[in-house]
Amino acid sequence: MRRATSGVLRFWIVPVTLVVWELLTRATESPYFPPPSRIATQFYDMWLSGPASQLLLTDSALDTFGPSLGRLIAGWLIAGVLGIALGVALGRIRGLSEYTDPVLQFLRALPPPLLVPIFFVLFKIGTPTQLAVIVFGVIWPVLVNTTDGVRAVDKGFLETARVFQFSRYDILRRVILPSAMPKIFAGLRLSLSLALILMVVSELVGSNSGIGYSLLYAQQTYDYAGVWAHIVLLGVLGLLFNALFLVAEGRVLSWHANARRNV
Amino acid sequence: MLELVDLSHTYGSYRAIDRVNLKVAQGEVVCIVGPSGCGKSTLLRSIAGLIKPTGGTVLLDGKPVDGSPENLAVVFQDYSRSLYPWMSAVANVGLPLRRRGLDKKRRDAAAMAALEQVGLAGAAAKFPWEMSGGMQQRVSIARALAYQPKLLLMDEPFGSVDAQTREELEDLTLRVCAHHGMTILLITHDVDESVYVGDRVVVLSKAPGTVVGDLPVQLPGPRDQIHTRELDAFVRLRAEVGRLVRGMTPHRNTHGFGVETR
Ligand SMILES: Nc1ncnc2c1ncn2[C@@H]1O[C@H](COP(=O)(O)OP(=O)(O)O)[C@@H](O)[C@H]1O
Ligand SMILES: [Mg+2]
């Protein structure tokens, strides 16, 4: 009964919010808060009125989304690979984490956007700087979770591996990594949402392309419906990435969900 | 093939086993029985190289054991921490064979053959969490079989399954493992089980565990859950082992049962 009610509520909450928002913004007529219908029109005109051969995306959409999404995915993947590799090393090599912990805690505490000027100097304006910001900002959840995950491998699993004399590679690849995978995925998921934020931030300060740059341009030309359209776009992208990630996770970790359900 | 010489182990200041001496011949099925907490697992883990005993030596084929010996398999009591939940049964069974230098096809074939022997040919693609406890322990046994060790250690392997499954698994062990000519060291706290499965029963005392009895089991084969257990010889032996486990014959001359003392 309660589930049914919450299902109905969930279903209605979106249109109700939209209607209230529309009425309020129409009543106040503030230029900074255009009604959602205008935002939607703007969104459609800018990005979704393209030919069917481009999945309805306009040229402007492709030019804007392409570089952004490319950097986001690339930065996230690089951070994922590096984070897992470093996390495994920190978790499994005895003593290493005590040595490196102060440095890592220091680096982790630095807000990535503030590093943009430094990355500028190192890499100049453009993609390398943005990649560096994203990688530096999103590596931490993966690193920390991987370290935790590979440390928490059940002793029984490792003893079995020892008795049957698995090679070091097999112990890592077939025992430690799969066992830590649920934690690693939790880190990767958090990193993905962070990567979206840092992608925009890095484009706001040091870029001449991408969604962040386009958002800045809309703001500077007083196109507030355009600004809101960008915000909606980012929300939609966030939802989309999360949904895709959950599908991938469901496939890789089906054993985990099921094993837990059957306990 | 296996010889324990004055094997002792202390955890901190707690003495778990105290100068255990034991000789096991090739192909023997030896059951080690003793009360809970007497150091049975400690003994097994020392042999398997999972802990380094604080005193004495383990000799395998005359050579002292350092680390986990080759050609040794273990069936642990807690199958849920021994089978990998991210792998199907056939992958679990085949995994140790990677070390044997077999290609994937050969590994799968060997794993399937072992699963067939334990009656799980139809469940090869299942994951551990899709199986009952008894089935999971069968997979553990299949993994040991496929590995073809010379020495198989079993630590209360049937302690976590129901009584009927337990009997099935006991028979499976007798039939299949013994058929392979493996030397088996089975650890249990169950007196009946030790007499039913063993060619020989070694009794450990209360902690710190040390050998207080070593009895040959002479029962006509093939053994059978109903008939073997009602034989006079079985009943007498069970009573004898039961008394030893409870420490009721402290002054008995255990040499009469053929204790190996070096
Ligand atoms: N890692 C350990 N650290 C300290 N004490 C332990 C450890 N493992 C076992 N013990 C103790 O040693 C004794 C023997 O344990 P164990 O070999 O597991 O007995 P059994 O298998 O016969 O029940 C127990 O009293 C147990 O509490
Ligand atoms: Mg035990």
Which value does ipTM take for this structure? 0.88
E strands, B61-168, where? Answer: 63-64, 72-75, 151-155
Nearest residue of B to residue A260, measured between CA atoms: B129
Residue B59 has a pLDDT of 93
CA dihedral of A141, A145, A148, A150, whole degrees rounded to 10: -130
Contacts of A164 in chain B (CB under 8 A): 73, 95-96, 99, 143, 147
CA dihedral of B243, B246, B249, B251, whole degrees rounded to 10: 150
Q: Mean pLDDT per 10-residue run, chain B (262 residues)?
A: 93 92 93 92 94 93 87 92 94 94 92 94 94 94 93 92 90 82 92 92 88 87 86 89 79 44 34
Instruction: Report d(CA A133, CA A215) in Å as an integer.
Output: 19
Q: What's the total number of domains in chain A?
A: 1
Looking at ligand 1, which atom is closest to the CA of residue B51? 1
Here the CATH number for the domain that contains residue A230 is 1.10.3720.10
Q: Do A163 and B68 make contact, defined as CB atoms within 8 angstroms?
A: yes
CB-based burial, B147-160: b 16+ in 10 Å, e otherwise: bbbbbbbbbbbbeb
Place of tokens 């020892």: A162
Instruction: Report d(CA B51, CA B2) in Å as an integer.
Output: 17
Give me the amino acid identity at A82. L
What residue spans define the domains of chain B? 2-71+150-261, 85-148
Whether domain B2-71+150-261 has CATH 3.40.50.720: no
3-state secondary structure of A19: helix
Q: Do B128 and A259 make contact, defined as CB atoms within 8 angstroms?
A: yes
Decide: B207 in ligand 1 pocket, CB within 6 A. Answer: yes
Nearest residue of A to residue B80, measured between CA atoms: A156
- Positive or negative, the CA dihedral A148, A152, A157, A161 is positive
Residue A29 lies inside a defined structural domain of this protein: no
Residue A154 lies inside a defined structural domain of this protein: yes
B-interface mutation test, from A162, A165, A261, most B Cβ less than 10 A away: A165
Q: Which residues of chain A have pLDDT under 70?
A: 1-7, 206, 262-263
Residue A5 has a pLDDT of 66
Residue A4 has a pLDDT of 62
Residue A83 has a pLDDT of 97
Residue A170 has a pLDDT of 94
pLDDT tens track for A190-203? 999 999 999 998 88
Q: Which domain holds residue A192?
A: 57-253
Residue B261 has a pLDDT of 36
Let me know: does A204 contact A213? Beta carbons within 8 Å: yes
- Which positions ≥6 away from A137 have C-beta within 8 Å? A112, A194, A195, A198
Instruction: Report d(CA A242, CA A240) in Å as an integer.
Output: 5
Residue A262 has a pLDDT of 65
Residue A171 lies inside a defined structural domain of this protein: yes
Residue A122 lies inside a defined structural domain of this protein: yes
